A and B are shown apart, each in its own frame.
Chain A
């Protein structure tokens, strides 16, 4: 079956530009997560959706970062006025349900964002 897919796989942009990163979760998974992974580090949590709503956005670093999931399936992570420090791999994951009981999160391949 299809896993989590992310597009684009690579994105190069210039400082100050706006970018959108897309995530298609596993069909039937109600929970969706965004993480950011810097070189040599583990993934760091950004935001968690249960259905259409953001249940926990405590990991978003500042108000330049925003994510939506309007129909409870596909999600888009939006970054405004990109900075060089935003360069990282952005990972999306989905799980059957949210919370801790069924928290087996399955990850996509990631989008590598490079801000020049």
Chain B
């Protein structure tokens, strides 16, 4: 099925470093969402974006909805060990409830 192009595929960083990941699509989306998934759990919603150009923060997390509506990025500042997990972007369109997900970015943080 259709998936978004998410990069990087994995990251291994030192605690305290900032992290950036992004998502691109050939299609336009009306919403972008970022989720985090821990092993054996379902994805947990981090940030939801509804307007092109919108920049939204949630604690140490900041995400932007690209102006072309075909991309989004997520930044994590001052990473901590509990940031470890898989981060997924997801795009939604206006006529359907379904979300299209990226392949995920696996984040590992070295204390």
Could you list which residues of chain A lie within 8 angstroms of chain B, going by C-beta atoms? Answer: 4, 31, 33, 35, 40-45, 48, 50, 55-56, 58-59, 91, 93, 95, 98-101, 103-110
- Kindly state the separation between the CA atoms of A109 and B90 in the bound complex, as whole angstroms: 18
Interface residues in B, total, Cβ within 8 A: 31
Contact (Cβ within 8 A) B97 A50: yes
Task: Write out the residue numbers on chain A whose beta carbons fall within 8 Å of the beta carbon of B40.
Answer: 109
Bound: A95/B34 CA distance, A? 15
Q: List 5 A-B residue pairs with CB atoms under 8 Å apart, sorted by A's residue number.
A: A42-B102, A45-B1, A98-B97, A100-B93, A109-B41
Which residues in B have some Cβ–Cβ distance to A below 8 Å? 1, 3-4, 6, 30-31, 33, 35, 40-45, 48, 50, 88, 90, 92-104
Q: Is the Cβ of B104 less than 8 Å from the Cβ of A42?
A: yes
Q: Is the CB of A95 within 8 A of B42?
A: no
How many A-B Cβ pairs are below 8 Å? Answer: 87
- Please tell me if the beta carbons of A48 and B96 are within 8 angstroms of each other in the complex: yes
Give the chain B neighbours of A50 by CB distance below 8 A: 97
Of B3, B96, B98, most A-chain CB atoms within 10 Å: B98
CB-CB under 8 A for A4 and B42, given A42-B101, A48-B96, A99-B97: yes
**Set of chain A residues within 8 Å of B103, measured between Cβ atoms:** 40-42
Instruction: Check A99–B94 contact: CB distance below 8 A.
Output: yes
Q: A33-B97, A99-B94, A103-B97 are in contact. List 13 more A-B contacts (CB 8 A).
A: A41-B104, A42-B88, A42-B103, A43-B88, A45-B99, A59-B98, A91-B42, A98-B97, A100-B96, A103-B99, A107-B43, A109-B40, A110-B42
What residues of chain A lie closer than 8 Å to B33, measured between beta carbons?
Answer: 103-105
